[in-house]
Amino acid sequence: MSNDVTGSVSGSLVQAGAIHGDVHFHRAPVENATPRQLPAPPSHFTGRAPELEALSRAVGARALIVITGAGGIGKTSLALRWLSERPELGRDGQLFVNLGAFGPAGPLRPADALGRFLRALGVAPERVPASLAEQQDLYRTMTADRSLVVLLDNASSVAQVRQLLPGGAAGVVVVTSRRRLSALAADGAQWVDAAPMNTETSVVLLANVIGAERVAAEPDAAARIAVVCGGLPIALAVIAARLAARPKWSLARVLGELENERTRLKGLSKHEELSVGAVFDMSYAQLSDEAAQLYRRLSAHPGPQFSTGAAAACLMAETAEQALEELVDTNMLEEVREDRFQFLDLLRLHAAQRATEQESDEARRAVCEWYLVNAMAADRAATPNRRRLPHAFTSAEHVDFDDARAAVDWLEEERDNLRAVARQGFPEITWRVVDAMWPLFLHRRYNQDREELEGLAVAAARSCGDEVAEGRMLFQAAMGCKARGDRAKARRHFGLAAVVNERTGDGWNTGNVEDGLGSACLADGDPEQAVEHFRRAAEVWREVAGAERKVALSMLNLGRAHVAVGRAATALPLLIEAKARLTALDDVDPYHHARHDIFFAEAYLQDGQHDLAEEHASAALSAMTALNSAFGQGLALEILSSLAQRTDPERAEELRRRALALFELVDAPDADRLR
């Protein structure tokens, strides 16, 4: 394709077309008042309303817009689509050049691009200045009084772009790049991030190439192809091209190849001229050594999103901020929000492919240990008095938690990652990370998570040959069953834990099991049996060194069981003693102090001391709200509802509805009882 242009120097500005890194300009005749249009956007390029709206918002009298995104995400198509819908822009003409950031010959030099721009503007080849500075001066002079659209496609650097900015006070410059080119902020740039296409738009692309009839015949397969292609136009184009060339093939056949993650990239890279892998390889080749290593190792991250600290653990270095910034800047990673990152699915597969070639499994274990150490730190901050088994796990970097709520919030934010860590196949990490998630289960429930994770934890503790850990995990699994309302299964797990505890002689776990059985009996409507279990638990705890807090908690539970029987007068002295024991302890335990207020409120309500009942229920509600414990808030509101029923039935109904909503939020069986 020729780069030369002939025609009048005074003619209208022109479009510059580019294919595969080549640059080609066409100049409109002088008498043609309407400048030629930029290349038409692909016919499939529908949708993308958010990006198109963002582009329109960015336009002023003079605008510099940077469209950024991963390779193959459709930046050029987006730019062309938007410009085709805004014919009023660039009334004096248009210029379009592919700057070849990833072309085989390397990025186009600014001098070469300026020379071609000048020839397109009508400067005779022999009159184009030799030096870059003179070319730039002439270019800016010639564009000073004109309103232009300049599309700088596939830019590689800020310097490359700056040399090609026109001199006019009006017009629009659109830059597309895999890099963010952040320094263009000094030139007044605004950014639009090209996002993957949604499923509907992706299916339209497929239908436009292979025919609507084939898509209509297999709509589910078409939608699934769109999903596994990650909304990347280049990936969908590869699949569409294969299907178009094989009109007898079903969509299900191609989908079957794509469903296997290990071979997905290979299936999307069968042709050299249209290859997803090749597009990613070009971006990868531009990374620094540290960023490339982090890119590879992050593919071992167990969950969907990660923080800077987790990235540093993958890199096995104290910090990864610079490498992360480079990966975000080159759109190899997406920054979801502040200090939160993720891969596009196909990029994660590409990174994993590279890791298989160059990395060991060391990074995967390192990041799992990082999550474990931080989960244990969150557990200590949220439930400081809980017994913990010895361990040797450490991390140079860990999160600092200001209070219990911040710790539980961190566990909440990292919940998906912690679940993924538990599935990674490192047994000692598995049971310990599930154990460290206890505060999350305590305050936020997540009963379905518990069922899977506590099962994994029991199996992991057994595979480690650690019976003390096994007894602990069986107890937690039983508590999870009880929280889900599966009381028969809870009793079975308590029984299994008791057998293990008998072998180990672990008094701590034995006391836990007696307490758990007492709670199960209360849930079963058998408070007399619950009284016996709580009494035995208190006896066990009195024989265990350092278990003063557990004695107090067993007495607290024993008092509640007496309330359930209808013996408030017997319960109140037990609750008062339990309160005194808890208060005498050095460590503050806000959750169990709040529970104590709930049990006191129940006892005073039954005993007819309504003012004291309301005082304690209100205090419990405030404390549970501060802890963001939906379940605890529900219990306090239920008591306040019972108190309000005597004088204000409408308020009582409102409080019951609030309690019910909170129980439903955490999938607590209490919701059924309250209904």
d(CA 316, CA 313): 5
Residue 641 resides in a domain: yes
Residues 32 and 99 grouped into a single domain: yes
> What is the sign of the dihedral through the CA atoms of 83, 88, 89 and 91?
positive
Residues 128 and 52 grouped into a single domain: yes
Residues 239 and 296 grouped into a single domain: no
End-to-end CA, the chain: 76
Domain containing residue 337: 286-359
Residues 77 and 144 grouped into a single domain: yes
Residue 557 resides in a domain: no
Residue 606 resides in a domain: yes
Output the six-digit token pair for 232: 């990347």
Residue 117 resides in a domain: yes
Residues 251 and 300 grouped into a single domain: no
Residues 33 and 103 grouped into a single domain: yes
Output the six-digit token pair for 621: 């509600």
pLDDT of residue 273: 66
Among residues 193, 223, 255, the one where a domain terminates is 193
Residues 295 and 322 grouped into a single domain: yes
Contact status, residue 64 vs residue 184, Cβ threshold 8 Å: yes
Nearest of 25, 29, 26 to residue 12 by alpha carbon: 29
Q: What is the CATH number of the domain that holds 73?
A: 3.40.50.300
Among residues 359, 381, 410, the one where a domain terminates is 359
Contact status, residue 13 vs residue 22, Cβ threshold 8 Å: no
Residue 556 resides in a domain: no
Residue 87 resides in a domain: yes
Q: What is the CATH number of the domain that holds 316?
A: 1.10.10.10
Residues 179 and 302 grouped into a single domain: no
SS3 342: strand
Residues 95 and 139 grouped into a single domain: yes
Among residues 251, 278, 305, the one where a domain terminates is 278
Q: What is the CATH number of the domain that holds 649?
A: 1.25.40.10
| Bridge partners for 210 per DSSP | none
Residue numbers of the chain with a pLDDT score lower than 70: 1-47, 60-61, 104, 272-273, 396, 588
| Bridge partners for 15 per DSSP | 26
Residue 516 resides in a domain: no
Non-local CB neighbours of 155 within 8 Å, separated by 6+ positions: 99, 101, 161, 175, 176, 177, 179, 181
Q: Which residues of 396-407 are buried (b: 16+ CB within 10 A; e: fewer)?
A: ebebebeebbeb
Residue 472 resides in a domain: no
For the chain, what is the domain count? 4
Residues 290 and 272 grouped into a single domain: no
Distance of CA 666 to the CA centre of its chain: 21
Q: Which residues of 244-277 are buried (b: 16+ CB within 10 A; e: fewer)?
A: eeeeeeebeebbeebeeeeebbebbbeeeebbbb
> Residue 299 carries which side chain, given as an amino acid letter?
S
Non-local CB neighbours of 636 within 8 Å, separated by 6+ positions: 597, 598, 601, 617, 618, 620, 621, 624
Residues 593 and 655 grouped into a single domain: yes
Residues 50 and 153 grouped into a single domain: yes
pLDDT tens per residue across span 23-61: 333 333 322 222 334 565 555 455 677 788 888 887 766
